[in-house]
Amino acid sequence: MKKLLFILFLTISGLAVADTGDFIRKNLNISEKDENSPNKDLRQIPVELGDGNSIPLTLYFSDSHTDSAILVFEIRKSKSEIDHFTAMTFVVKWFLKNYKIESVHKKNITFWHLNDKDKYSFMYKLSTNNFKLLNNRDFGVKDFTSFNENGGLVYPLKVILRKGKFININGSQADENIKKRYSKFLTTFDISPLIEGAVEGMYEKKKMK
C-alpha cells in the first residue's frame, strides 16, 4: 500500500510540473511612490502565461478607489457573463502563479477587464491579506507537501476567490447577486483540475481533523 501511494504521489508530482511549467513566483511590491517609474500612476506588471505569451497588467490608482491598487487588463471581449468570469479568473490565476504579495500599500487589489467595461462594468476586489494566504503555494509540487510542514494549511484558490467582492467603476458596491453567480460559477469551473482538485481534497480533509 505504501509503495502504491508513493508511486501515485510521484505521478501527480510529475503531472503537476507539466501543468505549471517552470514558474518561480516573484515577490511583488506595489506602492504609489515608485521612483523608478516614469509615470507613478500608470505602470505595467507583466504576467507570463504557460504557453510562452504574457499579459501586461496596468497598475493604476484612482481617487474613486482609495483603498485599492487597480490592475487593468485588456484581452478578448466577453460574450457572456460566464466568459467574463472565466477571463477574470484566468488572469487572477496567472497573476498568482507569477507573484507572491510581499508589500502592497493598499488594503485591496482590484482587477478590471477593460474590454468588458460597457457590458460588464463591475470590477473584482480582493484584500491583500487574502492574497497573502496563498504565499506559501507554488501552484505545483510544493503544494502537496506544504500541508505537512509544521501543520501548515494550504488554501485552495477557489476558497480565496470566493472572499472577493464585485464593485462598480465608481467605487460603489455592485449587486450582491453578481458575487453569488460567481461563487456558483467557481463550483464547476476547472481552474487547474489536477493540482487544485488535489489541494481542495487535502484542505477539506485537514479541516475535518
- Chain center to CA of 163: 12
pLDDT score of 4:
35
Closest among 72, 68, 78 to 47, alpha carbons compared:
72
pLDDT score of 12:
41
Q: Which domain holds residue 46?
A: 2-207
pLDDT score of 206:
78
Contacts of 156 (CB under 8 A, 6+ apart): 196, 199, 200, 203
Closest among 102, 128, 117, 124 to 174, alpha carbons compared:
124
Query: How many domains in the chain?
Result: 1
Phi and psi, residue 130, nearest 5°: -70, -40
82 sits in which H/E element: helix 81-98
pLDDT profile of the chain (209 residues), mean per 10: 36 42 82 59 83 91 92 95 97 95 94 95 96 91 71 87 95 94 95 83 78
Give yes or no for a contact between 71 and 95, defined as CB atoms under 8 angstroms apart. Answer: yes
pLDDT score of 52:
85
pLDDT score of 114:
95
Contacts of 52 (CB under 8 A, 6+ apart): none
Phi and psi, residue 76, nearest 5°: -50, 135
Q: How far apart are the first and last CA of the chain?
A: 23
Distances (CA, A) of 27 to 24, 30, 96, 204: 10, 10, 10, 28
Q: Which residue has the cell 500500500?
A: 1
